[in-house]
Chains A and B, each alone.
Chain A
Amino acid sequence: MQLLKIKDTLAFMSYRKVASIISILLVIGSLASLATNKLNWGLDFTGGTLLEVGFEQPADLGKIRAVMESGGYDDAIVQLFGNANDVLIRLGQRDGVKAEMLGNQILSILEQGTGDNITMRRIEFVGAGVGDELTEQGGLAMLTALICILVYVAFRFEWRFALGSVTALAHDVILTLGLFSVLGLEFDLTVLAAVLAVIGYSLNDTIVVSDRIRENFRKVRKGSPEEIINISLTQTLSRTMITSLTTFLVLLALFFKGGALIHGFSTALLFGIIIGTYSSIYVASTVALGLGISKEDLIPEEVEKEGVDQEGFPL
C-alpha cells in the first residue's frame, strides 16, 4: 500500500517565499502574544497551593466557592477538573500562614462546609522562589539542548545544515509557546518536557531530510541546489508523512485516554508534531539554501570516510 503516489519531483522550494512569510508572521504573532498575553504559568512556576478533591456526586461549584469564601480564602480559584465530580482549587502565595499546612486546612474546611464526603486526590504546594529557580533551569535546559544539537549537527553535517535545523527548532518552540499563550493553556513542568520532546522530534525529521540532501548532492551529478533539495524532499516525503502519522496516532491515544493530568503535555506534542513536520520541510531547507549550500560544501573527503566507518557496524 502507498499513501502518496508521486511520480515527479515536487517543486517544494518554489514555494519557499510564501512559506517563509507565513513562518515569519507566525513567529512574530507568537512573540507578540508572549509579550502581551504572557504564558499562563502553572503552579510549578508561580508557587502557591493547589488541591484536587473528589466528591461523591457532581460538585456544586457555587457552594464550594461560598465555603471557601467564608473560610477566608476569597482568592481561591475553583474549577472542575476532568469530570463533574473532581474539583481543582488554586490559591496564590500568601503571607503569615504556614503555607505548607494550607492544603490540610482547606480539606477540613471543605469537609465541614459542604458536609460531603471528600477524597483528597492531590495537594501541591510550591513555595515562593522555587518557581524562579525552575524557570531559570528550564530556560537553561532548552538553550543547552539547542546548543548541543547545533554542535552535533555542525560536526556531523555542515554548519549551514546546523543553523538550518536549529532555526527550525527555535521556530517550533516559539510557535508551540505561542499557541499556549494565545489559547491561555496552562504551562507547567510536563508541558516544558513536551516542548523538549518536540525539539527531539522535529530534529529527527530535519536530520532525515538533511541526510538525504547530503546524499543527493553526492549522488546526483547535475542539478542546482534547489533542484536537489526538491528531489530529496520528494523522496523523503512519504516517510515524513508516515512517521508523523504514527506519532500523531499515539498522541491522539494519549490525549483522549491519558487523562486530564497530561492534556497539556499531549496538546503541546500534537501541535509540535504538525509544526515540526512542516518546519523540517520548509524552514531547515530554506535556511540552508538561503545560506548558499552547494555541492562543494558536501563532498569533502571526510564524508567518504564516515561511510566506511559505518559499514563496519553490525547490521
Chain B
Amino acid sequence: MLNKYPLWKSLMVVIIIALGSLYALPNYYGEDPAVQISGTKGVKADLATLDLVKAELDSSQTTYQSAALKNGQVMVTFSDYEAQQAAKKLISKKLGNEYSVALNLTPATPDWLASLGGVPMKLGLDLSGGVHFLMEVDMKTAMNRVQEDMVGDFRTQLRNAKIRYRGVKEFGNGVEVIFKDTADLSSGEDVLKRTYGDYLFVDNEDNLSLRVTMTDAKLKETREYALQQNITIIRNRVNELGVAEPLVQRQGAKHIVVELPGIQDTALAKEILGATATLQFHMVDQEHDVYDAVNGRVPPGSFLVYEQDGRPQLLKKRIMLRGEHIIGATSSLDQQTSQPQVNIDLDNKGGSLFSNATKDNIGKPMATVFIESKATGEKNADGSLKFTQHQEVISVATIQARLGKSFRITGQDSPAAAHNLALLLRAGALIAPIAIVEERTVGPSLGAENVELGMQAILWGFALVLLFMMVYYRKFGVIANLALAANLVLIVGIMSLIPGATLTLPGMAGIVLTVGMAVDANVLIFERIREEIRAGKTVQQSIHQGYDSAFSTIFDANITTLIAALILFAVGTGPIKGFAVTLSIGIITSMFTSIIGTRACVNALWGGKKIDKLSI
C-alpha cells in the first residue's frame, strides 16, 4: 500500500529521537560552579581533607550546595560564581601547597541520567571564558643542540679510538670532520658508523673530509622528539596551574595548543608556563646526623631537603649534575629482578661530568632533587609575580658502578612511580625554547554574554521559521516544524555525546544557519507534492512522488554542503572548527528528520487513507 511505513521504521524514528532527547537532556540541567581540590605529588585528598574544607567553609559562612569526595578529589559545588571565587581563595589559603585548588564546573545532571552517560555539551573558551595559547617550539635551536652534541661526541669517539683529525664542525644538517690522511678517514668512518649507522655518510678523499648528515627520517624523529618533550613539560606545568580541564595538544609540526578554561589571570598562566623546573643530583651526606640538621645544626657544605612524604635528607651542596644535561628518560622493568627502573640518557658533557663525579662514590647513596620555581599568586611592589623555589628529593639510590652517558636509577616503589619520575626528569629538560605566538583570552562575563546572545539568536531564528512554515504549509508545516525541533534536539544530543565536540559562538551560528537551511528539504518535498497535486495525481500518489523525486535533489545538495563543512573542519582551528562541527552534524540530522522523520508523521496521519484534499 502507498505511504505506509512498516512498524520497525516508525519505531526506529521514535527511538532515535527519544535517545537524542535523552542525551540532550543534561544540557537542560546545566552546570554548577564548583571548586575541585586534589592532592599534588603523592598527597591524596581524603575524608579528612573533606572535613577540613567543610569546616573552613562553615566557619566563614560561605554557603555551598554539596561537598563530596570522588575519585580522590574533593568537589564542592556552589549556587553562584561569587561564592565559588570566595571559597577558592579560602580553601587554597587553608590547604597550602600540597593541594591544588581549581575552579570547575560540574554538571548538575541527575544521577540516573549521569549513570546512562549523559553529560552536557562542552563549551568552547569563547563561551566559558578562559585562555587559549598557541606556542611555538624553536626547532632551529633544538636542531642546533643535537648538532652540538654530535660534534662533541665525534671528538670523544675519535680521540678514544686514537684517530687523528684536523677539525670537527657543524655542517648543514650534520657534522663535517676533516682528517689528516686517507687511512684516518676510512678508519674514522668505520668508528663513527658503529654508533651513527642510521646517518648518511659521504667521504671525500680529495679534501679528506667526511660529512655525516641526518637522514630525513632522523631529522623528523629529532623534531618529533623535541615537540613531544615540550608537550610533556607544558602538561606538567599546566597541572601546576590548578585548572580543572586543561587541554595541551600538538598542532602541526611545531605548534602546541594550550587551553585553560576558567583562568582569568593570564599573566599568572604565562609566567608559570614559562617558568623553569629542573633537577640536580647530589651525594647524600653520610658523615653527619640528619636529625641534628633537622634541629637546626646543618653542617656547612651540606643542606637539608625533604622527600615527598616529609622524610628529611641531608645532602652535600656540591652539584654532581644538573638536569639540563638529561636528554632522555624512560621507565622500564629490570629484566632479572622485575623491579621498576628509570633509564636516563645524558648529553656528552653531562656524560663525562657524571662519569668523573661518580667514579669515587661507588656504593654510596645519591639523591635526585627536583627544583621548581612556583608563582605564589602574590605580587611584588613593582607588579611582577612573586616566585618561590621549591625543592624536593624525588629519589635516593645507591651508585652501583661508575656512571656514564646512560645509567639507571632503581629504588622506585612501583612502575607508576618510575614512570612519573621519568616524566619529571624529562620535564626538567627543556629541549628547545618555546614562545607564545597566539593568545586568546575571554573574560567570564563576555563568555556568559556570548551564551546568552547565541541562545537568543537561535530562539528567534527558530521562532521565525516555525511561524512561517506553519502559516505557509499549514498541517504539513506543523510536521516540518516538529522535524525541525527534533533536529535541534538531535544536534544537541549528538554534540553532548561526542567527547571532542565543543560548542563555540560560531558553532551556535552554525546551529542558527542549520535551522534556516534544514527546512529546505521539506520545502523541496512539499513543493513537489503541490506540483503533483496540481498535475492531477491522487493525494496518495502525490505524497509518494513528492518524497521520491525530491530525495536525490536533497541528497546531492546536502552532500555538497557537507563537503564544504568538512573542509572547513580540516583546516579550521578553535571556534571555526566549532562552526564546522555543528554545521556537519546539522546537515546529517536534518536529512534524517526532514525526510524520514516527516515521512513517518505523514504516513501515520494520512497514509493509506482515502483523502481528497491535503492541508498543504
Residues of A at under 8 Å CB distance from B?
1, 3, 52, 54, 100-101, 103-104, 108, 119-127, 129-130, 137-138, 140-141, 144-145, 148-149, 152-153, 156, 189-190, 192-193, 196-197, 199-201, 203-205, 207-208, 211-212, 215, 235-236, 238-239, 242-243, 245-254, 256-259, 261-262, 265-266, 269, 306-307, 310-311, 313-315
Indicate if the CB atoms of A123 and B441 lie closer than 8 Å: yes
A261, B449: Cα distance in complex, Å: 11
List chain B residues, Cβ under 8 A from A306. 552
List chain B residues, Cβ under 8 A from A196. 564, 567-568
B608 to chain A, nearest CB (A): 16
Q: Is B478 an interface residue (CB 8 A)?
A: no
Given A193-B572, A193-B576, A250-B465, A122 and B509 contact (CB-CB distance below 8 Å): no
Per DSSP, chain B at the interface is: helix
Indicate if the CB atoms of B465 and A152 lie closer than 8 Å: no
Encoded as 1 (CB less than 8 Å from any A CB) or 0, chain B from 446 to 466 comes to 100110011011101110110
Q: List 15 A-B contacts (CB under 8 A).
A: A104-B266, A125-B438, A193-B506, A193-B572, A203-B560, A204-B557, A243-B517, A243-B519, A243-B520, A243-B523, A246-B464, A250-B465, A254-B513, A259-B450, A310-B551
* Nearest A residue (CB) for B439: A125
Indicate if the CB atoms of A193 and B460 lie closer than 8 Å: no
Which residue in B267, B462, B561 is a CB contact (below 8 Å) of A101? B267
Indicate if the CB atoms of A200 and B552 lie closer than 8 Å: no
A201, B558: Cα distance in complex, Å: 9
Indicate if the CB atoms of A127 and B572 lie closer than 8 Å: no
* Nearest A residue (CB) for B474: A1
Q: Is B505 an interface residue (CB 8 A)?
A: yes
Indicate if the CB atoms of A137 and B571 lie closer than 8 Å: yes
Indicate if the CB atoms of A152 and B456 lie closer than 8 Å: no
Indicate if the CB atoms of A315 and B576 lie closer than 8 Å: no
Indicate if the CB atoms of A247 and B513 lie closer than 8 Å: yes
Which residue in B126, B548, B568 is a CB contact (below 8 Å) of A193? B568
List chain B residues, Cβ under 8 A from A126. 437-439
* Nearest A residue (CB) for B464: A249
Q: Is B114 an interface residue (CB 8 A)?
A: no
Q: Is B264 an interface residue (CB 8 A)?
A: yes
Indicate if the CB atoms of A215 and B445 lie closer than 8 Å: no
B255 to chain A, nearest CB (A): 9
Known: A103-B266, A190-B579, A261-B126. 10 other contacts (CB 8 A): A120-B264, A123-B440, A145-B563, A148-B567, A190-B575, A204-B517, A251-B512, A253-B458, A310-B552, A314-B596
A296, B126: Cα distance in complex, Å: 54
Which residue in B9, B564, B575 is a CB contact (below 8 Å) of A145? B564
List chain B residues, Cβ under 8 A from A124. 439-441
List chain A residues, Cβ under 8 A from B473. 1
List chain A residues, Cβ under 8 A from B449. 259
Per DSSP, chain A at the interface is: helix
Indicate if the CB atoms of B551 and A207 lie closer than 8 Å: no
Indicate if the CB atoms of A262 and B523 lie closer than 8 Å: no
B280 to chain A, nearest CB (A): 28
A269, B134: Cα distance in complex, Å: 29
* Nearest A residue (CB) for B132: A124
List chain A residues, Cβ under 8 A from B286. none
Indicate if the CB atoms of B513 and A258 lie closer than 8 Å: no
Indicate if the CB atoms of B442 and A121 lie closer than 8 Å: yes
List chain B residues, Cβ under 8 A from A207. 553, 556-557, 560
Indicate if the CB atoms of B436 and A141 lie closer than 8 Å: no
Given A125-B439, A156-B556, A201 and B561 contact (CB-CB distance below 8 Å): yes
List chain B residues, Cβ under 8 A from A246. 464-465, 468-469, 516-517, 519-520, 523
* Nearest A residue (CB) for B473: A1
A299 to chain B, nearest CB (A): 16
The 3 A-B pairs at the shortest CB distance, nearest first, are namely A250-B461, A127-B437, A250-B516
Indicate if the CB atoms of B527 and A100 lie closer than 8 Å: no
CB proximity to A under 8 Å, residues B286-334: none
A43 to chain B, nearest CB (A): 10
A251, B558: Cα distance in complex, Å: 19
Indicate if the CB atoms of B563 and A148 lie closer than 8 Å: yes
A124, B560: Cα distance in complex, Å: 34
Given A196-B567, A200-B565, A315 and B548 contact (CB-CB distance below 8 Å): yes
Which residue in A122, A152, A262 is a CB contact (below 8 Å) of B441? A122
A252, B527: Cα distance in complex, Å: 25
Q: Is B559 an interface residue (CB 8 A)?
A: yes
A246, B267: Cα distance in complex, Å: 46
List chain A residues, Cβ under 8 A from B472. 1, 3, 242
Which residue in B9, B440, B564 is a CB contact (below 8 Å) of A314? B9
List chain A residues, Cβ under 8 A from B51. none
B281 to chain A, nearest CB (A): 33
Indicate if the CB atoms of B567 and A258 lie closer than 8 Å: no
Indicate if the CB atoms of B523 and A242 lie closer than 8 Å: yes
Indicate if the CB atoms of A197 and B445 lie closer than 8 Å: no
Given A204-B561, A315-B599, A121 and B516 contact (CB-CB distance below 8 Å): no
Indicate if the CB atoms of B509 and A262 lie closer than 8 Å: yes
Which residue in B9, B436, B469, B517 is a CB contact (below 8 Å) of A201? B517
Indicate if the CB atoms of B439 and A103 lie closer than 8 Å: yes
A129, B453: Cα distance in complex, Å: 33
Indicate if the CB atoms of B509 and A254 lie closer than 8 Å: yes
Indicate if the CB atoms of B561 and A203 lie closer than 8 Å: yes
Given A122-B443, A204-B520, A249 and B465 contact (CB-CB distance below 8 Å): yes
Point out which of B435, B449, B564 has the most chain A C-beta atoms below 10 A from its C-beta: B564
List chain B residues, Cβ under 8 A from A314. 9, 596
B510 to chain A, nearest CB (A): 8
Q: Is B524 an interface residue (CB 8 A)?
A: yes
List chain A residues, Cβ under 8 A from B557. 203-205, 207-208, 211
Q: Is B97 an interface residue (CB 8 A)?
A: no
Indicate if the CB atoms of B524 and A239 lie closer than 8 Å: yes
List chain B residues, Cβ under 8 A from A138. 571
Indicate if the CB atoms of B595 and A258 lie closer than 8 Å: no
List chain B residues, Cβ under 8 A from A100. 270, 435-436, 439
A100, B437: Cα distance in complex, Å: 8
Given A140-B571, A258-B453, A313-B551, A247 and B531 contact (CB-CB distance below 8 Å): no
